[in-house]
Structure 1
Amino acid sequence: MLSNKYQKVLYDVPAHDFQILDDDHEYTMTSEINRSISSSCYRHIYWSTVAESGLITQQASLIVLFAILFIHLDANDLQPKNILFINALIGIIGLFLYRRRISIKSLQENLKTLSIFLLFGSLVSPVVFTLTKTISTDTIYAMSTLMMLTHLIFYDYGAETAMVQKALSFSVALFSSVCLASRLSTSFHTFCLVTSAVLVFALWPELRKYIKESSFEIFSILTVVHIFACVILLSRLSILHTILYSLAVLCLTFLCPLWLVSLQKYKISIRGAWEEAVVPEQVKDKFA
Protein backbone atom coordinates (compact mmCIF):
# COMPACT_ATOMS: atom_id res chain seq x y z
CA MET A 1 0.00 0.00 0.00
CA LEU A 2 1.42 3.34 -1.05
CA SER A 3 1.96 5.99 1.54
CA ASN A 4 0.08 9.27 1.40
CA LYS A 5 3.43 10.99 1.58
CA TYR A 6 3.89 10.57 -2.17
CA GLN A 7 1.22 11.98 -4.48
CA LYS A 8 0.94 11.51 -8.22
CA VAL A 9 0.66 15.12 -9.40
CA LEU A 10 1.89 16.70 -12.60
CA TYR A 11 2.13 20.25 -11.37
CA ASP A 12 1.75 21.39 -7.79
CA VAL A 13 1.10 24.98 -6.79
CA PRO A 14 1.08 26.08 -3.14
CA ALA A 15 -2.26 27.15 -1.83
CA HIS A 16 -1.05 30.64 -0.95
CA ASP A 17 -0.39 31.37 -4.65
CA PHE A 18 -4.12 31.34 -5.38
CA GLN A 19 -6.39 34.17 -4.31
CA ILE A 20 -10.18 33.81 -4.24
CA LEU A 21 -12.14 36.89 -5.31
CA ASP A 22 -15.84 36.92 -4.42
CA ASP A 23 -18.26 39.02 -2.40
CA ASP A 24 -16.80 37.87 0.91
CA HIS A 25 -13.06 37.74 0.05
CA GLU A 26 -11.34 40.50 -1.89
CA TYR A 27 -7.62 40.64 -2.50
CA THR A 28 -6.16 44.10 -2.93
CA MET A 29 -2.61 45.34 -3.16
CA THR A 30 -3.17 48.93 -2.07
CA SER A 31 -0.88 48.66 0.95
CA GLU A 32 1.85 46.95 -1.05
CA ILE A 33 1.72 49.63 -3.73
CA ASN A 34 1.83 52.37 -1.13
CA ARG A 35 4.93 50.80 0.38
CA SER A 36 6.71 50.21 -2.91
CA ILE A 37 6.00 53.60 -4.52
CA SER A 38 7.20 56.62 -2.63
CA SER A 39 6.02 60.20 -2.99
CA SER A 40 9.14 61.17 -4.92
CA CYS A 41 8.45 58.36 -7.40
CA TYR A 42 4.89 59.64 -7.81
CA ARG A 43 6.25 63.11 -8.58
CA HIS A 44 8.62 61.66 -11.17
CA ILE A 45 5.82 59.65 -12.79
CA TYR A 46 3.55 62.71 -12.81
CA TRP A 47 6.00 65.05 -14.55
CA SER A 48 7.01 62.40 -17.07
CA THR A 49 3.32 61.86 -17.84
CA VAL A 50 2.87 65.62 -18.25
CA ALA A 51 5.76 65.70 -20.70
CA GLU A 52 4.35 62.77 -22.69
CA SER A 53 0.92 64.40 -22.84
CA GLY A 54 2.52 67.14 -24.92
CA LEU A 55 1.82 65.05 -28.02
CA ILE A 56 -1.93 65.27 -27.40
CA THR A 57 -1.65 69.00 -26.69
CA GLN A 58 0.33 69.58 -29.87
CA GLN A 59 -2.14 67.71 -32.06
CA ALA A 60 -5.12 69.55 -30.57
CA SER A 61 -3.26 72.84 -31.02
CA LEU A 62 -2.57 72.01 -34.68
CA ILE A 63 -6.30 71.62 -35.29
CA VAL A 64 -6.90 75.00 -33.64
CA LEU A 65 -4.18 76.61 -35.79
CA PHE A 66 -5.67 75.05 -38.91
CA ALA A 67 -9.10 76.42 -37.99
CA ILE A 68 -7.57 79.88 -37.48
CA LEU A 69 -5.95 79.65 -40.93
CA PHE A 70 -9.32 78.78 -42.46
CA ILE A 71 -11.01 81.74 -40.73
CA HIS A 72 -8.39 84.18 -42.04
CA LEU A 73 -8.57 82.75 -45.57
CA ASP A 74 -12.35 82.87 -45.51
CA ALA A 75 -12.22 86.53 -44.46
CA ASN A 76 -9.52 87.28 -47.09
CA ASP A 77 -7.16 88.53 -44.39
CA LEU A 78 -4.33 86.40 -45.80
CA GLN A 79 -3.10 86.06 -49.34
CA PRO A 80 -2.98 82.45 -50.57
CA LYS A 81 0.33 82.96 -52.33
CA ASN A 82 1.94 84.03 -49.05
CA ILE A 83 0.60 80.89 -47.36
CA LEU A 84 1.96 78.72 -50.15
CA PHE A 85 5.35 80.41 -49.86
CA ILE A 86 5.42 79.79 -46.09
CA ASN A 87 4.35 76.16 -46.64
CA ALA A 88 7.14 75.66 -49.18
CA LEU A 89 9.69 77.20 -46.83
CA ILE A 90 8.57 75.03 -43.90
CA GLY A 91 8.57 71.96 -46.14
CA ILE A 92 12.13 72.56 -47.32
CA ILE A 93 13.42 73.15 -43.78
CA GLY A 94 11.61 70.06 -42.53
CA LEU A 95 13.03 67.98 -45.38
CA PHE A 96 16.59 68.96 -44.51
CA LEU A 97 15.99 68.28 -40.82
CA TYR A 98 14.40 64.90 -41.50
CA ARG A 99 16.86 63.69 -44.12
CA ARG A 100 20.01 65.41 -42.83
CA ARG A 101 21.96 64.09 -45.79
CA ILE A 102 20.19 64.57 -49.11
CA SER A 103 21.58 62.88 -52.20
CA ILE A 104 20.80 63.84 -55.77
CA LYS A 105 18.68 60.72 -56.21
CA SER A 106 16.54 61.35 -53.13
CA LEU A 107 16.19 65.02 -54.11
CA GLN A 108 14.94 64.01 -57.55
CA GLU A 109 12.40 61.64 -55.99
CA ASN A 110 11.16 64.33 -53.62
CA LEU A 111 10.83 66.86 -56.44
CA LYS A 112 8.95 64.30 -58.52
CA THR A 113 6.52 63.62 -55.67
CA LEU A 114 6.07 67.36 -55.08
CA SER A 115 5.40 68.00 -58.76
CA ILE A 116 2.78 65.25 -58.91
CA PHE A 117 1.07 66.59 -55.79
CA LEU A 118 1.02 70.19 -57.06
CA LEU A 119 -0.28 69.14 -60.47
CA PHE A 120 -2.95 66.86 -59.02
CA GLY A 121 -3.94 69.46 -56.42
CA SER A 122 -4.27 72.25 -58.98
CA LEU A 123 -6.45 70.05 -61.19
CA VAL A 124 -8.69 68.86 -58.35
CA SER A 125 -9.10 72.25 -56.63
CA PRO A 126 -11.84 73.53 -59.00
CA VAL A 127 -13.80 70.33 -58.36
CA VAL A 128 -13.36 70.61 -54.60
CA PHE A 129 -14.34 74.28 -54.78
CA THR A 130 -17.81 73.37 -56.09
CA LEU A 131 -18.14 70.04 -54.30
CA THR A 132 -20.46 71.06 -51.44
CA LYS A 133 -22.30 74.03 -52.85
CA THR A 134 -25.67 72.35 -52.27
CA ILE A 135 -24.92 71.63 -48.61
CA SER A 136 -25.57 74.24 -45.94
CA THR A 137 -22.66 75.92 -44.22
CA ASP A 138 -23.78 74.84 -40.75
CA THR A 139 -23.80 71.22 -41.87
CA ILE A 140 -20.28 71.58 -43.28
CA TYR A 141 -18.99 73.10 -40.04
CA ALA A 142 -20.65 70.43 -37.90
CA MET A 143 -19.30 67.66 -40.12
CA SER A 144 -15.80 69.14 -40.06
CA THR A 145 -15.86 69.40 -36.27
CA LEU A 146 -16.97 65.78 -35.93
CA MET A 147 -14.24 64.62 -38.32
CA MET A 148 -11.55 66.53 -36.43
CA LEU A 149 -12.69 64.97 -33.16
CA THR A 150 -12.49 61.55 -34.84
CA HIS A 151 -8.99 62.43 -35.99
CA LEU A 152 -7.94 63.18 -32.40
CA ILE A 153 -9.48 59.97 -31.07
CA PHE A 154 -7.83 57.59 -33.55
CA TYR A 155 -4.53 59.44 -33.88
CA ASP A 156 -1.32 57.52 -33.21
CA TYR A 157 0.00 58.84 -29.89
CA GLY A 158 2.57 56.08 -29.57
CA ALA A 159 0.35 53.50 -27.84
CA GLU A 160 0.16 50.10 -29.53
CA THR A 161 -3.57 49.51 -29.20
CA ALA A 162 -6.32 48.41 -31.55
CA MET A 163 -7.89 51.85 -31.25
CA VAL A 164 -5.03 53.48 -33.16
CA GLN A 165 -5.97 53.83 -36.82
CA LYS A 166 -3.42 55.94 -38.71
CA ALA A 167 -5.16 55.72 -42.08
CA LEU A 168 -8.56 56.57 -40.61
CA SER A 169 -7.15 59.46 -38.59
CA PHE A 170 -5.48 61.05 -41.61
CA SER A 171 -8.43 60.38 -43.91
CA VAL A 172 -10.99 62.10 -41.69
CA ALA A 173 -8.64 65.07 -41.16
CA LEU A 174 -8.18 65.46 -44.91
CA PHE A 175 -11.92 65.03 -45.49
CA SER A 176 -12.63 67.77 -42.95
CA SER A 177 -10.08 70.02 -44.67
CA VAL A 178 -11.71 69.43 -48.06
CA CYS A 179 -15.12 70.29 -46.61
CA LEU A 180 -13.79 73.55 -45.18
CA ALA A 181 -11.85 74.36 -48.34
CA SER A 182 -15.04 74.10 -50.40
CA ARG A 183 -16.40 77.12 -48.52
CA LEU A 184 -13.62 79.49 -49.58
CA SER A 185 -14.00 82.20 -52.19
CA THR A 186 -11.77 80.89 -55.01
CA SER A 187 -10.24 77.61 -56.14
CA PHE A 188 -6.80 79.03 -55.39
CA HIS A 189 -7.83 79.52 -51.75
CA THR A 190 -9.05 75.91 -51.79
CA PHE A 191 -5.74 74.65 -53.12
CA CYS A 192 -3.88 76.64 -50.47
CA LEU A 193 -5.92 75.19 -47.60
CA VAL A 194 -5.67 71.60 -48.86
CA THR A 195 -1.90 72.00 -49.24
CA SER A 196 -1.68 73.30 -45.68
CA ALA A 197 -3.74 70.31 -44.49
CA VAL A 198 -1.29 67.86 -46.07
CA LEU A 199 1.61 69.71 -44.46
CA VAL A 200 -0.06 69.81 -41.03
CA PHE A 201 -1.61 66.34 -40.85
CA ALA A 202 0.76 64.24 -42.99
CA LEU A 203 4.28 65.71 -43.05
CA TRP A 204 4.55 67.49 -39.72
CA PRO A 205 3.65 64.42 -37.56
CA GLU A 206 6.49 62.43 -39.14
CA LEU A 207 8.99 65.21 -38.50
CA ARG A 208 7.66 65.67 -34.97
CA LYS A 209 8.09 61.94 -34.29
CA TYR A 210 11.69 62.19 -35.48
CA ILE A 211 12.30 65.21 -33.24
CA LYS A 212 10.84 63.40 -30.23
CA GLU A 213 13.12 60.39 -30.78
CA SER A 214 16.17 62.64 -31.27
CA SER A 215 15.68 65.15 -28.46
CA PHE A 216 12.82 65.11 -25.97
CA GLU A 217 13.81 68.60 -24.74
CA ILE A 218 13.20 70.11 -28.18
CA PHE A 219 9.91 68.21 -28.34
CA SER A 220 8.84 69.78 -25.03
CA ILE A 221 9.79 73.22 -26.36
CA LEU A 222 7.61 72.55 -29.41
CA THR A 223 4.66 71.93 -27.08
CA VAL A 224 5.14 75.34 -25.49
CA VAL A 225 5.48 76.97 -28.92
CA HIS A 226 2.21 75.38 -30.09
CA ILE A 227 0.38 76.60 -26.98
CA PHE A 228 1.67 80.18 -27.19
CA ALA A 229 0.94 80.39 -30.92
CA CYS A 230 -2.66 79.30 -30.35
CA VAL A 231 -3.16 81.69 -27.44
CA ILE A 232 -1.76 84.68 -29.35
CA LEU A 233 -3.67 84.00 -32.56
CA LEU A 234 -6.92 83.10 -30.78
CA SER A 235 -6.77 86.22 -28.63
CA ARG A 236 -7.07 88.31 -31.80
CA LEU A 237 -10.25 86.51 -32.78
CA SER A 238 -12.11 85.79 -29.54
CA ILE A 239 -11.24 86.11 -25.87
CA LEU A 240 -13.86 83.51 -24.97
CA HIS A 241 -12.31 80.89 -27.26
CA THR A 242 -8.87 81.76 -25.90
CA ILE A 243 -10.07 81.07 -22.35
CA LEU A 244 -11.72 77.81 -23.42
CA TYR A 245 -8.56 76.70 -25.20
CA SER A 246 -6.42 77.56 -22.17
CA LEU A 247 -8.71 75.56 -19.89
CA ALA A 248 -8.59 72.61 -22.29
CA VAL A 249 -4.77 72.72 -22.35
CA LEU A 250 -4.61 72.84 -18.55
CA CYS A 251 -6.94 69.86 -18.35
CA LEU A 252 -5.08 67.78 -20.94
CA THR A 253 -1.57 68.65 -19.79
CA PHE A 254 -1.85 68.82 -16.00
CA LEU A 255 -5.19 67.61 -14.61
CA CYS A 256 -5.57 64.41 -16.66
CA PRO A 257 -2.02 63.16 -15.84
CA LEU A 258 -2.64 63.98 -12.17
CA TRP A 259 -5.88 61.98 -12.26
CA LEU A 260 -4.13 59.07 -14.00
CA VAL A 261 -1.29 58.94 -11.47
CA SER A 262 -3.66 59.26 -8.50
CA LEU A 263 -5.65 56.25 -9.72
CA GLN A 264 -2.57 54.01 -9.67
CA LYS A 265 -2.97 53.35 -5.96
CA TYR A 266 -6.29 51.63 -6.67
CA LYS A 267 -4.74 49.32 -9.24
CA ILE A 268 -5.08 45.61 -8.44
CA SER A 269 -2.42 43.23 -9.69
CA ILE A 270 -2.71 39.51 -8.91
CA ARG A 271 0.39 37.42 -9.54
CA GLY A 272 1.09 33.76 -8.96
CA ALA A 273 2.75 30.64 -10.29
CA TRP A 274 0.72 30.88 -13.50
CA GLU A 275 2.52 34.10 -14.52
CA GLU A 276 5.31 34.14 -17.06
CA ALA A 277 8.76 34.21 -15.49
CA VAL A 278 10.40 37.66 -15.47
CA VAL A 279 14.12 38.07 -14.91
CA PRO A 280 14.84 40.92 -12.46
CA GLU A 281 17.07 43.77 -13.60
CA GLN A 282 19.62 42.98 -10.89
CA VAL A 283 20.10 39.47 -12.29
CA LYS A 284 20.41 40.86 -15.83
CA ASP A 285 23.11 43.29 -14.73
CA LYS A 286 24.95 40.54 -12.85
CA PHE A 287 25.27 38.28 -15.87
CA ALA A 288 25.69 41.05 -18.43
Structure 2
Amino acid sequence: MVSVKYQKVLYDVSPHDFKILDDDHVYKMSSEINHSISSSSYRHIYWSTVAESGLITQQVSLVILFTILFVHLDTNNLQPINILIINALIGLIGLFLYRQHISLKLLQENFKTLSIFLLFGSLVSPVVFTLTKTISTDTIYAMSTLMMLTHLIFYDYGSETAMVQKALSFSVALFSSVCLASRLSTSFHTFCLVTSAVLVFALWPELRKYIKKSSFEIFSVLTIVHILGCIILLFHLSMLHMILYALAILFLTFLCPLWLISLQKYKISIRGAWEEAVVPEQTKDKFE
Protein backbone atom coordinates (compact mmCIF):
# COMPACT_ATOMS: atom_id res chain seq x y z
CA MET A 1 0.00 0.00 0.00
CA VAL A 2 1.37 3.37 -1.04
CA SER A 3 1.45 6.14 1.52
CA VAL A 4 -0.69 9.21 0.82
CA LYS A 5 2.26 11.42 1.69
CA TYR A 6 4.19 10.37 -1.42
CA GLN A 7 1.97 10.68 -4.48
CA LYS A 8 2.90 9.13 -7.80
CA VAL A 9 2.80 12.31 -9.93
CA LEU A 10 5.18 13.32 -12.65
CA TYR A 11 4.46 17.04 -12.56
CA ASP A 12 2.52 18.97 -9.94
CA VAL A 13 1.49 22.61 -10.10
CA SER A 14 0.20 24.56 -7.18
CA PRO A 15 -2.98 26.63 -7.65
CA HIS A 16 -0.94 29.54 -6.34
CA ASP A 17 1.10 29.51 -9.55
CA PHE A 18 -1.97 30.30 -11.66
CA LYS A 19 -3.30 33.20 -9.68
CA ILE A 20 -4.22 36.25 -11.70
CA LEU A 21 -2.46 39.46 -10.79
CA ASP A 22 -4.81 42.40 -10.53
CA ASP A 23 -3.92 45.93 -11.60
CA ASP A 24 -3.02 46.99 -8.07
CA HIS A 25 -0.55 44.09 -7.68
CA VAL A 26 1.00 44.85 -11.05
CA TYR A 27 1.41 48.51 -10.15
CA LYS A 28 3.05 47.63 -6.84
CA MET A 29 5.37 45.16 -8.51
CA SER A 30 6.43 47.77 -11.07
CA SER A 31 7.03 50.33 -8.33
CA GLU A 32 9.17 47.89 -6.34
CA ILE A 33 11.28 47.14 -9.39
CA ASN A 34 11.77 50.83 -10.15
CA HIS A 35 12.72 51.72 -6.56
CA SER A 36 15.17 48.82 -6.36
CA ILE A 37 17.27 50.34 -9.16
CA SER A 38 19.43 53.24 -8.02
CA SER A 39 20.06 56.42 -9.96
CA SER A 40 23.65 55.38 -10.67
CA SER A 41 22.39 52.13 -12.21
CA TYR A 42 20.03 54.11 -14.42
CA ARG A 43 22.90 56.29 -15.59
CA HIS A 44 24.98 53.23 -16.37
CA ILE A 45 22.13 51.61 -18.30
CA TYR A 46 21.43 54.83 -20.19
CA TRP A 47 25.00 55.36 -21.39
CA SER A 48 25.32 51.68 -22.27
CA THR A 49 22.19 51.98 -24.41
CA VAL A 50 23.58 55.13 -26.03
CA ALA A 51 26.77 53.29 -26.90
CA GLU A 52 24.83 50.34 -28.34
CA SER A 53 22.75 52.70 -30.48
CA GLY A 54 25.91 53.47 -32.42
CA LEU A 55 25.05 50.65 -34.82
CA ILE A 56 21.86 52.46 -35.85
CA THR A 57 23.71 55.76 -36.07
CA GLN A 58 26.40 54.27 -38.27
CA GLN A 59 23.93 52.68 -40.67
CA VAL A 60 21.95 55.91 -41.04
CA SER A 61 25.22 57.78 -41.61
CA LEU A 62 26.29 55.25 -44.26
CA VAL A 63 23.09 55.88 -46.20
CA ILE A 64 23.73 59.62 -45.98
CA LEU A 65 27.35 59.19 -47.10
CA PHE A 66 26.29 57.06 -50.05
CA THR A 67 23.76 59.72 -51.06
CA ILE A 68 26.46 62.39 -50.83
CA LEU A 69 28.69 60.26 -53.06
CA PHE A 70 25.90 60.05 -55.63
CA VAL A 71 25.43 63.84 -55.56
CA HIS A 72 29.15 64.47 -56.16
CA LEU A 73 29.26 61.94 -59.00
CA ASP A 74 26.14 63.44 -60.54
CA THR A 75 27.64 66.94 -60.45
CA ASN A 76 31.07 65.67 -61.62
CA ASN A 77 32.79 66.96 -58.50
CA LEU A 78 34.45 63.56 -58.11
CA GLN A 79 36.11 61.44 -60.77
CA PRO A 80 35.01 57.80 -60.90
CA ILE A 81 38.58 56.51 -61.19
CA ASN A 82 39.46 58.17 -57.88
CA ILE A 83 36.46 56.55 -56.20
CA LEU A 84 37.47 53.13 -57.52
CA ILE A 85 41.02 53.58 -56.21
CA ILE A 86 39.69 54.56 -52.77
CA ASN A 87 37.32 51.57 -52.81
CA ALA A 88 40.21 49.25 -53.68
CA LEU A 89 42.34 50.60 -50.83
CA ILE A 90 39.47 50.31 -48.33
CA GLY A 91 38.75 46.78 -49.54
CA LEU A 92 42.37 45.70 -49.09
CA ILE A 93 42.60 47.22 -45.62
CA GLY A 94 39.30 45.59 -44.65
CA LEU A 95 40.51 42.22 -45.96
CA PHE A 96 43.67 42.31 -43.87
CA LEU A 97 41.70 43.37 -40.80
CA TYR A 98 38.99 40.76 -41.24
CA ARG A 99 41.37 37.95 -42.20
CA GLN A 100 44.15 38.01 -39.66
CA HIS A 101 45.88 34.98 -41.18
CA ILE A 102 45.97 35.33 -44.97
CA SER A 103 47.35 32.50 -47.05
CA LEU A 104 48.19 32.36 -50.74
CA LYS A 105 45.18 30.13 -51.41
CA LEU A 106 42.85 32.60 -49.71
CA LEU A 107 44.28 35.48 -51.74
CA GLN A 108 43.73 33.52 -54.95
CA GLU A 109 40.11 32.82 -54.04
CA ASN A 110 39.46 36.46 -53.15
CA PHE A 111 41.17 37.65 -56.34
CA LYS A 112 39.03 35.23 -58.36
CA THR A 113 35.84 36.51 -56.74
CA LEU A 114 36.91 40.12 -57.28
CA SER A 115 37.70 39.46 -60.96
CA ILE A 116 34.31 37.87 -61.56
CA PHE A 117 32.57 40.80 -59.86
CA LEU A 118 34.49 43.42 -61.84
CA LEU A 119 33.91 41.60 -65.12
CA PHE A 120 30.21 41.11 -64.45
CA GLY A 121 29.83 44.70 -63.24
CA SER A 122 31.54 46.18 -66.29
CA LEU A 123 29.31 44.13 -68.60
CA VAL A 124 26.09 45.02 -66.80
CA SER A 125 26.84 48.74 -66.30
CA PRO A 126 25.79 49.80 -69.84
CA VAL A 127 22.47 48.00 -69.33
CA VAL A 128 21.94 49.62 -65.92
CA PHE A 129 22.88 52.99 -67.39
CA THR A 130 19.92 52.88 -69.82
CA LEU A 131 17.58 50.90 -67.57
CA THR A 132 15.35 53.73 -66.31
CA LYS A 133 15.61 56.30 -69.10
CA THR A 134 11.84 56.24 -69.65
CA ILE A 135 11.11 56.93 -65.96
CA SER A 136 11.10 60.46 -64.61
CA THR A 137 13.87 61.57 -62.30
CA ASP A 138 11.46 62.52 -59.50
CA THR A 139 10.01 59.02 -59.53
CA ILE A 140 13.49 57.50 -59.34
CA TYR A 141 14.44 59.71 -56.39
CA ALA A 142 11.19 58.97 -54.54
CA MET A 143 11.54 55.23 -55.14
CA SER A 144 15.19 55.27 -54.05
CA THR A 145 14.29 57.13 -50.86
CA LEU A 146 11.55 54.61 -50.07
CA MET A 147 13.93 51.70 -50.68
CA MET A 148 16.60 53.19 -48.42
CA LEU A 149 14.06 53.66 -45.64
CA THR A 150 13.03 50.03 -46.08
CA HIS A 151 16.69 49.05 -45.85
CA LEU A 152 17.06 50.89 -42.53
CA ILE A 153 13.85 49.40 -41.11
CA PHE A 154 14.66 45.75 -41.87
CA TYR A 155 18.42 45.96 -41.27
CA ASP A 156 20.00 43.57 -38.77
CA TYR A 157 20.92 45.70 -35.76
CA GLY A 158 21.73 42.69 -33.61
CA SER A 159 18.24 41.91 -32.30
CA GLU A 160 16.80 38.49 -33.04
CA THR A 161 13.29 39.48 -34.08
CA ALA A 162 10.97 38.50 -36.90
CA MET A 163 11.26 42.01 -38.30
CA VAL A 164 14.92 41.54 -39.22
CA GLN A 165 15.23 40.55 -42.88
CA LYS A 166 18.86 40.59 -43.99
CA ALA A 167 18.21 39.55 -47.58
CA LEU A 168 15.41 42.09 -48.02
CA SER A 169 17.45 44.87 -46.47
CA PHE A 170 20.44 44.29 -48.75
CA SER A 171 18.28 43.77 -51.84
CA VAL A 172 16.37 47.04 -51.50
CA ALA A 173 19.61 48.94 -50.80
CA LEU A 174 21.20 47.51 -53.94
CA PHE A 175 18.04 48.20 -55.94
CA SER A 176 18.05 51.81 -54.75
CA SER A 177 21.72 52.10 -55.73
CA VAL A 178 20.99 50.76 -59.22
CA CYS A 179 18.16 53.27 -59.63
CA LEU A 180 20.42 56.15 -58.60
CA ALA A 181 23.28 54.87 -60.75
CA SER A 182 21.04 54.90 -63.83
CA ARG A 183 20.77 58.69 -63.50
CA LEU A 184 24.53 59.32 -63.83
CA SER A 185 26.19 60.68 -66.96
CA THR A 186 28.21 57.66 -68.14
CA SER A 187 28.23 53.90 -67.68
CA PHE A 188 31.59 54.20 -65.93
CA HIS A 189 29.96 56.45 -63.32
CA THR A 190 27.26 53.80 -62.96
CA PHE A 191 29.83 51.05 -62.44
CA CYS A 192 31.61 53.16 -59.82
CA LEU A 193 28.44 53.81 -57.82
CA VAL A 194 27.28 50.18 -57.91
CA THR A 195 30.74 49.04 -56.76
CA SER A 196 30.59 51.52 -53.90
CA ALA A 197 27.13 50.21 -52.96
CA VAL A 198 28.44 46.65 -52.66
CA LEU A 199 31.31 47.89 -50.50
CA VAL A 200 29.06 50.00 -48.26
CA PHE A 201 26.05 47.71 -47.85
CA ALA A 202 27.60 44.23 -48.13
CA LEU A 203 31.27 44.23 -47.07
CA TRP A 204 31.48 47.05 -44.56
CA PRO A 205 28.69 45.73 -42.25
CA GLU A 206 30.51 42.41 -41.87
CA LEU A 207 33.78 44.13 -41.02
CA ARG A 208 31.94 46.43 -38.61
CA LYS A 209 30.46 43.46 -36.73
CA TYR A 210 33.95 42.00 -36.42
CA ILE A 211 35.31 45.30 -35.08
CA LYS A 212 32.47 45.58 -32.56
CA LYS A 213 33.11 42.05 -31.34
CA SER A 214 36.87 42.62 -31.08
CA SER A 215 36.96 46.09 -29.54
CA PHE A 216 33.92 48.12 -28.53
CA GLU A 217 36.12 51.20 -28.02
CA ILE A 218 37.17 51.20 -31.68
CA PHE A 219 33.54 50.66 -32.65
CA SER A 220 32.56 53.77 -30.65
CA VAL A 221 35.30 55.76 -32.37
CA LEU A 222 33.91 54.62 -35.74
CA THR A 223 30.51 55.97 -34.74
CA ILE A 224 32.02 59.40 -34.05
CA VAL A 225 33.92 59.27 -37.36
CA HIS A 226 30.71 58.49 -39.26
CA ILE A 227 28.89 61.40 -37.62
CA LEU A 228 31.69 63.90 -38.15
CA GLY A 229 32.13 62.81 -41.77
CA CYS A 230 28.45 63.33 -42.53
CA ILE A 231 28.35 66.71 -40.79
CA ILE A 232 31.42 68.01 -42.65
CA LEU A 233 30.24 66.79 -46.05
CA LEU A 234 26.68 67.99 -45.55
CA PHE A 235 27.97 71.39 -44.44
CA HIS A 236 29.47 71.90 -47.92
CA LEU A 237 26.26 70.78 -49.63
CA SER A 238 23.39 72.21 -47.59
CA MET A 239 23.18 73.81 -44.17
CA LEU A 240 19.54 72.77 -43.81
CA HIS A 241 20.31 69.10 -44.45
CA MET A 242 23.20 69.23 -42.00
CA ILE A 243 20.92 70.60 -39.26
CA LEU A 244 18.27 67.97 -40.00
CA TYR A 245 20.88 65.23 -39.87
CA ALA A 246 22.28 66.51 -36.56
CA LEU A 247 18.78 66.62 -35.04
CA ALA A 248 18.05 63.08 -36.27
CA ILE A 249 21.28 61.78 -34.75
CA LEU A 250 20.56 63.50 -31.43
CA PHE A 251 17.10 61.92 -31.41
CA LEU A 252 18.34 58.41 -32.26
CA THR A 253 21.41 58.46 -30.02
CA PHE A 254 20.23 60.27 -26.88
CA LEU A 255 16.45 60.63 -26.79
CA CYS A 256 15.44 57.17 -28.02
CA PRO A 257 17.52 55.33 -25.36
CA LEU A 258 16.00 57.57 -22.68
CA TRP A 259 12.53 56.79 -24.04
CA LEU A 260 13.31 53.06 -24.11
CA ILE A 261 14.48 53.03 -20.50
CA SER A 262 11.42 54.99 -19.34
CA LEU A 263 9.16 52.36 -20.93
CA GLN A 264 10.78 49.51 -19.01
CA LYS A 265 8.53 50.15 -16.00
CA TYR A 266 5.57 48.93 -18.07
CA LYS A 267 7.32 45.68 -18.97
CA ILE A 268 6.44 42.82 -16.63
CA SER A 269 7.41 39.20 -17.15
CA ILE A 270 5.26 36.77 -15.15
CA ARG A 271 7.06 33.48 -14.65
CA GLY A 272 5.83 30.31 -13.03
CA ALA A 273 5.95 26.53 -12.94
CA TRP A 274 4.09 26.26 -16.24
CA GLU A 275 7.10 27.52 -18.21
CA GLU A 276 9.69 25.29 -19.83
CA ALA A 277 12.91 24.88 -17.88
CA VAL A 278 15.93 26.69 -19.31
CA VAL A 279 19.44 25.39 -18.66
CA PRO A 280 21.92 28.24 -17.97
CA GLU A 281 25.00 28.55 -20.15
CA GLN A 282 27.34 28.01 -17.20
CA THR A 283 25.65 24.69 -16.42
CA LYS A 284 25.95 23.61 -20.04
CA ASP A 285 29.68 24.30 -20.03
CA LYS A 286 30.16 22.08 -16.97
CA PHE A 287 28.50 19.09 -18.63
CA GLU A 288 30.34 19.66 -21.94
- For normalisation by structure 1, the TM-score amounts to 0.91
Secondary structure of the 2:275 match is: coil
Report the 3-state secondary structure (helix = DSSP H, G, I; strand = E; otherwise coil) of the residue aligned with 1:236.
helix
Alpha-carbon distance in structure 2 between the residues aligned to 1:199 and 1:125: 16
Query: 1:49 Cα shift?
Result: 0.8
Residue in 2 that maps onto 1:53? 53
Measure, in 2, the Cα distance between the counterparts of 1:85 and 1:21. Answer: 64
Counterpart of 2:173 in structure 1 is: 173
Alignment of structure 1 residues 61-140 onto 2, 5 Å: 61-140=61-140
Q: How far apart are the structure 2 equivalents of 1:87 and 1:5?
A: 76
- Residue 226 of structure 1 corresponds to which residue in structure 2? 226
| 1:27 correspondence with 2:26 | yes
Deviation readout 1:172-209 (Å, 9 max, x if unpaired) = 00000000000000000000000000000000001001
Secondary structure of 2:20's counterpart equals coil
The aligned length equals 283
Q: Distance in 2 between matches of 1:16 and 1:282?
A: 30
Residues 211-246 of structure 1: per-residue CA shift (max 9 Å, x gap):
000000000000000000000000101111000000
Shift in Å, 1:171: 0.6
1:16 Cα deviation (Å)?
Answer: 3.6
2:142: which partner in 1? 142
Deviation of the 1:7 alpha carbon: 9.1
> Contact 1:20/1:26 (CA < 8 Å) preserved in 2?
no
Structure 1 portions without partners, runs of 5+: none
CA distance in structure 2 between the aligned counterparts of 1:188 and 1:252, rounded to whole angstroms: 36
Q: Percent identity?
A: 85
* 206-215 or 29-38, larger mean C-alpha shift: 29-38
Task: Please state whether the residue corresponding to 2:26 is helix, strand or coil.
Answer: coil
For 2:264, the equivalent position in structure 1 comes to 264
Pair 1:6–1:212, CA change in 2 (3 A): closer
Correspondence for 2:243: 243
| CA distance 1:92–1:230, change in 2 (3 Å) | same
Residues 26-78 of structure 1: CA deviation (Å, up to 9, x unaligned) = 63421221243222221111111111110000000000000000000000000
2:154 — aligned with what? 154
Which structure 2 residue ranges, 5 or more long, are not aligned?
A: none
Contact kept, 8 Å, 1:57 with 1:223, in 2: the verdict is: yes
CA RMSD of aligned residues (A): 2.6
In structure 1, the residue matched to 2:252 is 252
Find out whether 1:216 has 2:212 as its counterpart.
no
SS in 1 for 2:135: coil
TM-score by length of 2: 0.91
